[in-house]
Amino acid sequence: MGSRLPPAGLAVGGRFASWTAQQPQWVLLDVDGTLVAADGVRPAVREAARAAVAAGLRVGLVTGRMRQAALPIIEDLHLVGPHVLHNGAEVHDGTATIATFPLSDAEVTTLEALSESTGTYAELYFDDGFVITRPELRARPHWDLLGRGPQGMADARRGRPTIKATFMCFHDDATEAAVIAGIRAAGLQAGPAHSPVTPGVTYVNATAPGVDKATAVQRAATRLGIHLGAIVAVGDGDNDLPLLRVAGTAIAMGQSNPRVLAAAHLTAPTVDNDGAAAALRWAASTHAAAAGT
C-alpha cells in the first residue's frame, strides 16, 4: 500500500518520507477543529464517518471534551469507539467507561493554587460534571458547547475523584504561558487546545503525570489487540501532538500550526473544507481494499 505520492484528497506532511501505510483498523478523530467546525459537524464529514463505520472500521473520538459533551457526536455519527476523552484521562467504549486516570487530591490543590496565582478561570471535571475555581461570565459559550454548566465552586468537588482540569485563557498569551509552565512545573501534563466554536480562547488541559491522548490510545490499543501501525489519528492542535507521533498514520488538518503539520505523515484540507471527510474516505477505502471487499 506504500506510495511516494500522497493519497487522493490528502497532501504530504512533515513526516511523509517515513510513512509506511498499513490497513487502517482504528481511526481516531479529534473533535474541535477536526470533526467540528464553527457551524458544527458538516454534512460531508457526517456522511464520511458513517460510511467508514459501515465499511468495518473502528472510528472513535480523541478529545479534551467530557463524556457528556462527546456522546451526542458519537450517537450522531454512529461511532463504535473506543473513545478517548478528557485529553486521555478517560477511555470509553461507547457504552461504559473502561479506564480513568485521575488527578490526586494534592495535584488538584496545586492546580487550584495555580488558578488563583494566575487569575485564571479553571474547571475541575469529575465523572458526571464539573466545578469551577472562580466565576467567569466569558465561559458561558463554552458551557453551551458542553451542553451544561458548572455544578458549583471548587469546594463542591470534595471527596470526588477529579479526572482533569481545564484552564481557559482569554486572548492572553502571557496567561497561557504561565498556566502551561505552572502545570508542567507540578509534573503534570499540559495539553493546549482550541475550538472554532469559541475563537480567541485557549483551553489548557491538565492531566495526571504521563496521561495524554497517546498514552490512553496505547493502552486501549493493547486491550483491543490493535497494532499502533494500524491506527489513523487526525488532529489539529498541540494536544494532538503526542498521538500524532505514535500513530501509524498521522494526519494533520490543513489549518494546523507548523508543529502539528511537521508531526504528521499526511495533511488533510482545513476543517472548513471538510478535511476530516477526506481522511475518513481514504481510511475506509484503504481498509476495504486490504480486506478484499
Residues 198 and 122 grouped into a single domain: yes
Q: What is the DSSP letter of 161?
A: -
Residues 87 and 220 grouped into a single domain: yes
Per-residue model confidence (pLDDT) at position 4: 79
Residues 95 and 218 grouped into a single domain: yes
293 pLDDT tier (thresholds 50, 70, 90): low
Q: How many domains, in total, are found in the chain?
A: 2
Asked whether residue 6 is domain-assigned, the answer is: no
Per-residue model confidence (pLDDT) at position 210: 95
Asked whether residue 250 is domain-assigned, the answer is: yes
Residues 110 and 191 grouped into a single domain: yes
Which residue range(s) make up the domain with 141? 105-207
Q: How far is Cα of residue 223 from the mean position of the Cα atoms in its chain? A: 20
pLDDT tens digits, 171-230: 877 899 999 999 999 999 999 999 998 989 999 999 999 999 999 999 999 989 999 999
Residues 121 and 253 grouped into a single domain: no
Asked whether residue 5 is domain-assigned, the answer is: no
pLDDT tens digits, 104-136: 999 999 999 999 999 999 999 998 899 999 999
- Listed in sequence order, the DSSP H helices in the chain are 43-54, 67-77, 105-118, 140-146, 173-185, 213-224, 241-246, 258-263, 275-291
Calculate ∠ Cα 72-74-77, nearest 5°: 105
- In 3D, which of 165, 66, 161 has the Cα closest to residue 104? 161
Looking up cell 488541559 gives 205
Per-residue model confidence (pLDDT) at position 1: 44
Asked whether residue 1 is domain-assigned, the answer is: no
Residues 72 and 126 grouped into a single domain: no
Per-residue model confidence (pLDDT) at position 160: 83
Output the pTM of the full model: 0.93
